Structure 1
Amino acid sequence: MCRWLAYTGNPVHLETVLFHARHSLIDQSLHSTKGATTTNGDGFGMGWFQDPHDIPYRYRSVHPAWNDRNLRELARAVRAPMFIAHIRAATDTPVQETNCHPFRHRRWIFAHNGLIRSYPLMRRDLLVAIDPDRFNALEGSTDSETMFYLAMTFGLEIDPVTALERMAGFVEATAKKHGVEPALNMTVCACDGEQIVAARYSSERNSRTLYHTTAFRHLRELYPDDPRIIAAGDDAYLLVSEPLGDAPDVWAEVPESTAIVVRGPDVEYRPFVPVAP
């Protein structure tokens, strides 16, 4: 389907995780080992924060990530303390820039891997539930962007985890009306410059893969002379669709039906339970 990663920690050059890791996100765009598709070549996007209180920057392209020369230059130039990057494998919607992740609204950016099954069948019902004041901000045609604006409608800016749970519950309830079960499969991530909020959930309890770093200290022990790892700091944290390397002590799988909230050095794991409308 897709692959994504999210980083928070000391400012690092984006190329550190996008290009330099052994199984970097760019490598995954051609050689994914844990995704539904091996190749994820239907566009690329990244969003990053220079100031946690400002609107994030964003770059999106329909080029395959491995063949985007501007991406390589940008990743070499930009240093950021928080960012999301995403490679896309399109399902039911066109390959166009407005369908590339991450999606952005004010200070929030959002990325998704997975799908709403039979999305065209229930698309209208989902769209009309979006807050009218936000509806005109929709640019593309993906289920992912619809999920983002539903979460915004349900309070993402106030209580992010509850908003994502309400979004998931609304999607499942709408799908049930249309006779679509199971309805939802997702790993999602939202950032506002101060926190990363993510969830792994699926209606059938068989979600797309998601991993997190156990501690950057382990990476420093493995690569003591790598200045890029040292620069990230001990409190750095990575969420990834699949590990960027094969060191077993560095990566742990996020359990099914789990939400994660990362604020600086504080990481909270909690059950993710959809809330029916």
Structure 2
Amino acid sequence: MCRWLAYTGNPIQLETVLFGAQHSLIDQSLHSRLGQTTTNGDGFGIGWYGNPTDIPFRYRCLHPAWSDRNLREAARAVKAPLFVAHIRAATDTPAQETNCHPFRYGRWLFVHNGLIRDYPKVRRDLMLAIDPDLFASVEGSTDSEVMFFLALTFGLESAPVQALERMVALVEETGRRHGVEHPLNMTVCATDGEQIVAVRYSSEGASRSLFHSTSIRQLCELYPENPRIKAAGDDAFMVLSEPLVDLQGAWEEIPESTVIVARGPAIEHYSFKPVPA
């Protein structure tokens, strides 16, 4: 499917996690250990915030991440306190730039790993449920972007967790109406530059992998000679599809049907349950 990560903490160079880590996101684009597909070469994207109140920056490309020389230059040049990155393995929709994550609307960025099953059957119904005022901003043809704009329709900008629960409920109800037994499998991340909201959920209870970092302060004590851990700061936090390095105690798997909300040093976990709008 896909692999993604989200980071918040002290400003760091994007290359630290995209290229520098032992099992970096670029390494995962060729050698994913936990994904449904080993190779994720159908495009990539990064999104980052200079100022949380500004519209975030994006760089997206339909080429494989491992072969893009400009990505390496950009990752070396950009230093940010919050960013997301995504490598894509396409399912029912083509490899094109407008289908590359992250998707953006205003200050919000969105990435997804997984799929809406039998998407061609349900696509029309789901797209018609998008707020008409938002519809013109849909650029591509992926199920992921439709999920994002449905969440925006249900109030992502004011109540992100509830909006995602309503979005999932609609996708599942629509899929089952069309005879799809398990309509949705997802790990998603939505951020507005001030908070990271990440969800692991699937209709069948067998979601794609998702982890979060444990205490960076504790890791600094365990690995005092690691400069990358020290540079991130005590309150740094990451959510990601696969661990970047094999450090004991560095990562914790996120349980099924769970949402994590990270606002600076405050990390909250909640049960995630679809709620019809």
In the alignment, what sits opposite 2:109? 109
Code of the aligned partner of 2:157: E
Aligned positions of 1:65-104 closer than 5 A: 65-104=65-104
1:229 Cα deviation from its structure 2 partner: 2.2
Distance 2:20 2:169 in 1: 39
1:218 deviates by: 3.8
What secondary structure is seen at the aligned counterpart in 1 of 2:224? coil
Structure-2 separation of matches of 1:40 and 1:82: 23
AA of the residue aligned to 1:35: G
Query: What amino acid is aligned across from residue 203 of structure 1 in structure 2?
Result: S
Task: Letter of the 1:124 partner, please give it.
Answer: R
CA distance in 1, matches of 2:210, 2:221: 24
Counterpart amino acid of residue 250 in structure 1 = A
Q: Which residue of 2 aligns with 1:185?
A: 185
> Does 1:165 find its partner at 2:155?
no
| Unaligned segments of structure 1, at least 5 residues | none
Count residues in correspondence: 277
**What's 1:38 paired with?**
38
Deviation digits for residues 23-69 of structure 1 (CA, Å, limit 9, x no counterpart): 00000000000000000000010100010000000000011111110
How much has 1:255 moved relative to structure 2? 0.3
User: 1:221: Cα distance to partner?
Assistant: 3.5
Q: Say if 2:273 is the partner of 1:273.
A: yes
Moved more, 220-229 or 23-32: 220-229
Q: Distance in 2 between matches of 1:23 and 1:230?
A: 19
| 1: CA distance, partners of 2:74 / 2:229 | 20
One-letter amino acid of the structure 1 residue matched with residue 163 of structure 2 = A
- Secondary structure at the residue paired with 1:36? coil
Give the AA of the match of 2:182: P
Question: 1:248: Cα distance to partner?
Answer: 2.6
The separation in 2 between residues aligned to 1:118 and 1:251, in whole angstroms, is: 33
Match runs of 1:94-243 below 5 Å: 94-243=94-243
Specify whether residues 245 and 225 from structure 1 end up closer, same or farther in structure 2 by C-alpha distance, changes over 3 A only. same
Q: Distance in 2 between matches of 1:201 and 1:210?
A: 10
Tell me the distance in 2 between the aligned counterparts of 1:227 and 1:55: 31
Deviation at 1:206, TM superposition (A): 0.3
CA distance in 2, matches of 1:221, 1:66: 33
TM-score of the superposition, structure 2-length normalised? 0.98
**Number of the residue aligned with 1:253:** 253
1: CA distance, partners of 2:233 / 2:136: 40
Q: Following TM superposition, by how much is the alpha carbon of 1:222 offset from its aligned partner in structure 2, in angstroms? A: 4.7
- Residue 223 of structure 1 and its aligned partner are, at CA, apart by 4.0
Q: 2: CA distance between counterparts of 1:208 and 1:154?
A: 24
Counterpart secondary structure, 2:94: coil
Letter in 2 for 1:253: E
Q: Partners of 2:172 and 2:184 in 1: how far apart?
A: 7
Residue 230 of structure 1, CA deviation: 1.5
**Deviation at residue 231 of structure 1 after TM alignment:** 1.6
The 1-side partners of 2:39 and 2:109 are apart by 24
Backbone CA RMSD of aligned residues:
0.9
- Kindly provide the CA deviation profile for residues 234-256 of structure 1, in whole angstroms up to 9, marking residues without a partner as x: 10000010111122300000000
Deviation at 1:224, TM superposition (A): 2.3
Secondary structure of the equivalent of 2:173?
helix
1:9 counterpart = 2:9 = yes
- Counterpart residue identity of residue 84, structure 2: I
Matched AA of 1:82: L
CA distance in 2, matches of 1:140, 1:19: 28
Tell me the residue number matched to 1:29.
29
Q: Secondary structure at the match of 2:70?
A: helix
